[in-house]
Amino acid sequence: MLKLEHVSVTFHPGTQLEKKALTDVSVTIHDGDFVTILGSNGAGKSTFFNVIAGKIPVTSGKVFLDEEDITEQKEHIRARQIGRLFQNPAMGTAGELSVEENLALAYSHSQRGMFSRAVTNADREFFAEHLKTLDMGLEDRLKTPIGLLSGGQRQAVALMMAVLNPPKILLLDEHTAALDPKSAHKILEITNQLIKQEQITALMITHNMKDALENGSRLLIFHDGRITKDFSGAEKSALKPEDVIHFYEV
Ligand code: ADP
């Protein structure tokens, strides 16, 4: 369970550049939730993710993971329990290293807190077995430099890197936005497959209303640094684009 209590974030406080990015955000994300997030540019969505990942400190409020207060916990410590994917699949993957070396780096870090790109035969088998489940032929590309894959293939490997040792929380930061429609669809499909299979709690920021409505069990809408709408269950399932467009400007 991930819980934010009265979290506010103000950038450059006390200066002319002062900007309140989050205002008194309180929310509890339950285990197994798949939460989609909509909101206009500048609404505070990325700041919300940065707070959860420990990338930026809160100005006030608290963050809990499974009842543990992690408000002061450093980003690299949290990274073992909180995975993150970005819009650009190049973020978080090393283009000159092979698919298997990238997987090894992520796996060693999530398991032992240290980065190692050494790949044993057992690792190779383990990686190939997992990649096979994506049905993209990536198990035959283990030795290929990841930079030579297509955006969709590279994002699929990035997704696998994030879930090989399943994190408690997976943050998906517009992770399909840079892909062509077919690849985006495939990545969303395997995202659903993996988070269900590994029982990962996931949050996904998207500007694609259809994706936000058709995926996940809960929808949060951000506006002006606050969560202004929170739909779940049957209420979320019944939502149509025209029901939510009024709650924020795109
Ligand atoms: P979103 O992800 O919804 O587009 P952000 O969380 O990126 O919104 O930004 C929320 C507000 O905080 C915006 O007004 C943005 O300009 C501001 N902001 C974000 N990061 C910084 C920063 N590092 N320094 C100053 N202002 C920032």
Give the ipTM of the model, two decimals please.
Answer: 0.98
In a domain, 100, yes or no: no
C-alpha triplet 234, 63, 48: angle, nearest 5°: 65
The response to whether residue 93 sits with its C-beta less than 6 Å from ligand 1 reads no
With respect to residue 80, please indicate whether it lies within any of the assigned structural domains: no
Tell me whether residue 123 is in a domain. no
Residue 106 belongs to a domain: no
Host domain of residue 49? 1-72+201-249
- The protein residue with its alpha carbon nearest to ligand 1, atom 15, reads 42
207 in a structural domain: yes
In a domain, 67, yes or no: yes
How many residues are given for the chain?
Answer: 250
Taking the C-alpha atoms of residue 35 and residue 23, their distance in angstroms, rounded to an integer, is 20
Among 226, 158, 203, 167, which residue's Cα sits nearest to residue 49? 203
CA of 224 relative to ligand 1 center, distance in Å: 10
Q: Is the CB of 25 under 6 A from ligand 1?
A: no
As averages over each run of 10 residues, the pLDDT of the chain (250 residues) reads 98 96 98 96 97 98 97 93 94 95 94 91 96 95 97 96 94 96 95 94 96 96 96 94 80
Instruction: Compute, in angstroms, the gap from residue 47 CA to the centroid of ligand 1.
Output: 6
For residue range 134-153, list pLDDT tens digits in order.
999 999 999 999 999 999 99
Q: What percentage of the chain exceeds 90 in pLDDT?
A: 90
Residue 61 belongs to a domain with what CATH number? 3.40.50.300
Is 62 contained in some domain? yes
Nearest Cα to Cα of residue 177 among 45, 61, 25: 45
- 29: in domain: yes
44 ligand 1 Cβ < 6 A: yes
| Number of structural domains found in the chain | 1
* Ligand 1 pocket member 149 (CB < 6 A): no
């979290």: which residue's tokens? 7
Quick: pLDDT tens for 176-229. 999 999 999 999 999 999 999 999 999 999 999 999 999 999 999 999 999 999
**Residues 16, 18: Cα–Cα separation, whole Å:** 6
Going from the Cα of 40 to the center of ligand 1, the distance in angstroms, rounded, reads: 11
208 class by beta-carbon count within 10 Å (0-12 exposed, 13-18 middle, 19+ buried): middle
